[in-house]
Amino acid sequence: MPLPATVRFGDDPMVPQPAPILAMHRETQDVFTLTLDVSRRARAFSPGQFTMLYLFGVGEIPVSISGDPACPERLAHTIRAVGSVTRPMQALTPGSALGVRGPFGTGWPVEAARGKDVILIAGGIGLAPLRPLIYQLRERRDDYGRISVLYGVRSPADIVYSEELAGWSADAGMDVSLIVDHASPGWQGDVGVVTSLLDKVDCDPRNTLAMTCGPEIMMRFTIRELNHLGIADKQIYVSMERNMQCAVGLCGHCQYGPAFICRDGPVFRFDRIKPFFGIRDL
Amino acid sequence: MNDVKDIEHFIREHPFFEGMPDEDIKRLTGCAKRVCFPAGTFIFKEGEEARTFFCIQSGQVALEIHAPPKGSFQIDSRKAGDVVGWSWIVVPYRWYCDVRAVEEVRALAFDGACLRGQWDENPRLGYEMYQRFVPLMHRSLQATRLQLLDIYGTN
pLDDT tens for A214-262 read 999 999 999 999 999 999 999 999 999 888 999 999 999 999 999 999 9
What DSSP character marks residue A197? Answer: G
The answer on pLDDT for B93 being more than 60 is yes
Mean pLDDT throughout B85-104? 93
Closest by Cβ to A191, choosing from B76, B81, B146: B76
Assign A47 a pLDDT band (cuts: 50, 70, 90): very high
Assign A181 a pLDDT band (cuts: 50, 70, 90): very high
CA A276 to each of CA A30, A218, A258: distance values in angstroms, whole numbers, following the listed order? 32, 16, 9
Mean pLDDT throughout B17-26? 93
Q: Do domains A17-104 and A117-277 have the same CATH topology?
A: no
Spell out the domain ranges in chain A: 17-104, 117-277
Contacts of A192 in chain B (CB under 8 A): 76-77, 143, 147
- Does A199 lie at the interface with B, CB-CB under 8 angstroms? yes
pLDDT at A80 (0 to 100): 96
Mean pLDDT throughout B98-124? 94
Strand ranges of the sheet holding B71-79, from the earlier edge strand across to the other edge: B42-44, B98-101, B60-67, B71-79
Strands A147-153 and A175-180 turn out to be parallel
| pTM for this entry | 0.90
pLDDT at B155 (0 to 100): 52
The answer on pLDDT for A4 being more than 50 is no
A159 contact partners, CB below 8 Å, separation of at least 6 = A28, A151, A153, A165, A178, A180
Contact B151 A215 (CB under 8 A): yes
Per-residue pLDDT tens for A116-125? Answer: 999 999 999 9
Burial of A57 (0-12, 13-18, 19+ CB in 10 A): exposed
Please report the residues numbered 237 through 266 in chain A whose beta carbons come closer than 8 angstroms to any beta carbon of chain B: none
Mean pLDDT throughout B39-44? 96
- Does A80 lie at the interface with B, CB-CB under 8 angstroms? yes
Burial of B38 (0-12, 13-18, 19+ CB in 10 A): exposed
Closest CA to B13 of B102, B107, B105, B101: B107
Could you give the 3-state DSSP secondary structure of residue A203? coil
pLDDT at B2 (0 to 100): 62
Full set of structural domains in chain B with CATH: 3-152 (2.60.120.10)
Please report the residues numbered 95 through 134 in chain B whose beta carbons come closer than 8 angstroms to any beta carbon of chain A: 102-103
CA A220 to chain centre: 17
Q: Which CATH class is domain A117-277?
A: alpha beta
Assign A8 a pLDDT band (cuts: 50, 70, 90): very low
- Does B40 lie at the interface with A, CB-CB under 8 angstroms? no
Closest CA to B89 of B141, B136, B24, B43: B136
The answer on pLDDT for B1 being more than 80 is no
pLDDT at B154 (0 to 100): 64
Q: Which residues pair with B37 in a beta bridge?
A: B105
What is the complex's ipTM, to 2 decimals? 0.83
pLDDT at B48 (0 to 100): 95
Mean pLDDT throughout A103-116? 97
Mean pLDDT throughout B62-86? 91
Contact B151 A191 (CB under 8 A): no
Mean pLDDT throughout B67-84? 90
Kindly report the CATH number that applies to the domain delimited by A17-104.
Answer: 2.40.30.10
Per-residue pLDDT tens for B126-143? Answer: 999 999 999 999 999 999
- Does A116 lie at the interface with B, CB-CB under 8 angstroms? no
pLDDT at A270 (0 to 100): 97
